Amino acid sequence: MISVETFVNRRKHLLSRIKQGVAIIATSPERYRNRDTQYPYRFDSYFYYLTGFREPEAVLMLVAAGDGTASQQILFCRDKDAEREIWDGFRYGSEAARETFGFDAAYSITRLDELAGELLANQPVVFHAFGHDAAWDQRVVGWINRVREQVRKGVSAPAEIRDIRHVLDEMRLVKDDAELAVMREAGRISAEAHKRAMRATRPGRHEYEIEAELLYEFRRQGAESPAYTSIVAGGANACVLHYIQNDTRLKDGDLLLIDAACELHGYAADITRTFPVNGKFSGAQREIYQLVLAAQTAAINAVRPGNNWDSPHQAALQVLVQGFIDLNLCQGSPEAVIETESYKRFYMHRTGHWLGLDVHDAGEYKQAGQWRELVPGMVLTVEPGCYIRPAEDVPEHFWNTGIRIEDDVAVTLAGCEVLTALAPKNVAEIEEWMQCTMISER
Ligand code: GLY
Ligand code: MN
Ligand code: MN
């Protein structure tokens, strides 16, 4: 769990970065699925990163006053409401929220419009995630205009609007020890879910039955939810990169690709494993699998301080391209295959992304036109793959083979730490793990 002190310190750090002005960070709205039935609530990641507060209808205002002495950390949140709490459960109310979450002041969300005008008066800059939510953009501009109307009273309105995400993305990109501890745990639970899924898999079962095993393990171990919609893709379905129907019967001789992981205390894991439905890789499956695994190993070895964001991708690409040539999937020299991008027929995505509160997390990948350097505390996924659709110029035994192997990797001083290492990955490990069940069920 992340301490209140950590959240307070993040707000202090943000205040010191923006120096002068007011930052406005609203959490996500509740969303309706139909009529009065809501989607499960998920807070806004930026808001949560700075507050640890999970209730909807809440706004953080940070007033930065130059030298920091008069800076304020203010929360607006829902009032206590005995009637609503019977239906929806506990709410903090402003007083308890202020105390519990370490704010200087907290007010009822019903007073937001009234007090925002006061807080923005005579401030030079408003920091906000402009463009993220049109309703909030309009509301903030309305506040600025209201301040502007008081110009004859000698009040000045903010002259500048800046995107707060610029600063926050950089803060979120490098994880502290508490975040890494949560992500390690999210990785462990997700890996155990994959192990459970492997043991539950056999010909004749449906993809959704395996999905259920994953969801069961996430929740059984206290994770809030999946971090994204699970992909459970048997056979040819694995060649559809964003396949989420998960409703096909699993066939003997096919592979099963599972891309699924949980969200724990707001933090995402992201794991893919690919394994044989019947517990034993065929020769052709093993060839492609070993190639993708070699590419992934090379990419993980390239995750270390001093290398840049693109290093793991380039390392994976070198291995994959040589493999595609050796297997007669691509023709020409490795340089030509990379130059013409003919490899993209079989490997059309990049090798990873930042990971954190969002599965595709905050943070720029390039700075001043250069891939950014990896530094300790960054967390990224390493996920090469190979997807082979039927085609006349492709050996038939490779048709409909879709393989991806994905782990979550934290950059450390010495190199990297794989947060999801518990999920079996080598051919022998997978076959052995799956065989245990098959034997025990005989
Ligand atoms: N599960 C989403 C991704 O791998 O990027
Ligand atoms: Mn991923
Ligand atoms: Mn994934």
pLDDT tens for 378-389 read 999 999 999 999
Against a cut of 0.85, is the pTM above it?
A: yes
**Are 322 and 401 contained in the same domain?**
yes
Q: Are residues 326 and 435 in the same domain?
A: yes
276 Cα: distance to centroid of ligand 3 (angstroms): 19
What band does 289 get if pLDDT is binned at 50, 70 and 90?
very high
Look at residue 66 in the predicted model and tell me its pLDDT.
75
pLDDT score for 1: 83
Kindly give the number of the ligand 1 atom that is closest to the alpha carbon of 406: 4
In SS3 terms, the chain reads as CCCHHHHHHHHHHHHHHHCEEEEEEECCCCCEEECCEECCCCCCHHHHHHHCCCCCCCEEEEEEECCCCCCEEEEEECCCCHHHHHHHCCCCHHHHHHHHHCCCEEEEHHHHHHHHHHHHCCCCEEEECCCCCHHHHHHHHHHHHHHHCCHHHCCCCCCEEEECHHHHHHHHHECCHHHHHHHHHHHHHHHHHHHHHHHHCCCCCEHHHHHHHHHHHHHHCCCCEECCCCEEEEHHHHHCCCCCCCCCECCCCCEEEEECCEEECCEECCCEEEEECCCCCCHHHHHHHHHHHHHHHHHHHCCCECEECCHHHHHHHHHHHHHHHHCCCCCCCHHHHHHHCHHHHCCCCCCCCECCCCCCCCCCCEECCEECECCCCEEEEECCEEEECCCCCCCHHHCCEEEECEEEEEECCCCEEECCCCCCCCHHHHHHHHHHHHHHHC
How do residues 407-422 score in pLDDT, each as one tens digit?
Answer: 999 999 999 999 999 9
Residue 275 pLDDT greater than 70, yes or no: yes
* End-to-end Cα separation, the chain, in angstroms: 43
pLDDT at residue 440, as a whole number: 52
**Which residues lie with the beta carbon below 6 Å from any ligand 1 atom?**
228, 259, 270, 353, 359, 383, 406
Residue where a domain terminates, one of 172, 199, 232: 172
Average pLDDT over residues 135-163: 96
Q: Say yes or no to pLDDT of 137 above 60.
A: yes
What per-residue confidence (pLDDT) applies to 70? Answer: 81
Residues 190 and 288 in one domain: yes
pLDDT at residue 68, as a whole number: 60
Q: Are 168 and 240 members of one domain?
A: no
| Ligand 1 centroid distance, CA of 25 (Å) | 27
Nearest CA to ligand 1 atom 4: 270
211, 225, 228, best to mutate for ligand 1 pocket (most atoms within 8 Å of CB)? 228
Judgement on whether residues 312 and 251 belong to the same structural domain of the protein: yes
- Contact by Cβ (8 Å): 234, 203: no
For residue range 61-103, list pLDDT tens digits in order. Answer: 999 987 667 899 999 999 999 999 999 999 999 999 999 999 9
Same domain membership, residue 348 and residue 214: yes
Higher-scoring residue by pLDDT: 151, 196: 196
Task: Tell me: pLDDT of 439 over 80.
Answer: no
Q: Which amino acid is at 61?
A: M
Confidence of residue 442 (pLDDT cuts 50, 70, 90): very low
Provide the β-strand partners of residue 259.
231, 272
Domain that holds residue 282: 174-440
Q: Are residues 412 and 399 in the same domain?
A: yes
Closest C-alpha residue for ligand 1 atom 5: 360
Residues 205 and 153 in one domain: no
Pocket test for ligand 1, best of 214, 232, 240, 259 (most atoms within 8 A of CB): 259
* % residues pLDDT > 70 (the chain): 98
Measure the CA–CA gap between 231 and 209, rounded to whole angstroms: 12
150 and 189 housed in the same domain: no
Q: What is the mean pLDDT of the chain?
A: 97
Catalytic center residues: 36, 242, 259, 270, 349, 353, 360, 383, 387, 404, 406
The encoded tokens of residue 25 equal 């960070």
Ligand closest to Cα of 352 equals 2
Using the predicted structure, report yes or no on whether residue 139 has a pLDDT greater than 70.
yes
Q: Which atom of ligand 1 is nearest to the CA of 272?
A: 4
- For residue 124, the domain's CATH number is 3.40.350.10
Same domain, 342 and 381: yes
Q: Does the structure show a pLDDT above 50 at 136?
A: yes
Contacts of 408 (CB under 8 A, 6+ apart): 183, 187, 261, 269, 270, 271, 355, 379, 380, 381, 418, 419, 420
Alpha carbons within 13 angstroms on the beta-carbon side of residue 159 total 6
Q: What local confidence, expressed as pLDDT, does residue 65 receive?
A: 87
Whether residue 125 sits in one domain with residue 12: yes
191 CA → ligand 2 middle, Å: 14
The residue among 140, 172, 204 that closes a domain is: 172
**Buried (b) or exposed (e) across 305-327, using 16+ Cβ within 10 A?**
bebbbbbbbbbbbbbbbbbbbeb
Report the separation in Å between the CA atom of 70 and the middle of ligand 1, taken as the mean of its atom positions: 43
Which numbered atom of ligand 1 lies nearest the CA of 383?
A: 4
Assess whether pLDDT exceeds 60 at residue 11: yes
Using alpha carbons, select from 310, 311, 330 the residue that is nearest to residue 320: 330
Closest ligand 1 atom, residue 270 Cα? 1
Per-residue pLDDT band for 437 (boundaries 50, 70, 90) equals: low
Spatial distance between the Cα atoms of 164 and 26, rounded to a whole number of angstroms? 12
Ligand 1: residue of 381, 404, 405, 407 to mutate (most ligand atoms within 8 A of CB) is 381
**CA of 26 relative to ligand 1 center, distance in Å:** 26
**What is the rounded average pLDDT of the residues 141-155?**
96
Q: What is the pLDDT of residue 24?
A: 98
Q: What is the CATH number of the domain that holds 224?
A: 3.90.230.10
Which protein residue's CA is at the shortest distance from atom 3 of ligand 1?
270
- pLDDT band of residue 436 (cuts 50, 70, 90) is confident
Number of domains in the chain: 2
Closest ligand 1 atom to 259 CA: 1
CA distance 217 to 240: 25
Distance between Cα 414 and ligand 2 center (Å): 24
Q: Do both 307 and 375 map to the same domain? A: yes
Asked if residues 383 and 352 have their Cβ atoms less than 8 Å apart, the reply is yes
Mean per-residue pLDDT, 25-48: 97
Residue at which a domain ends, from 127, 149, 172: 172
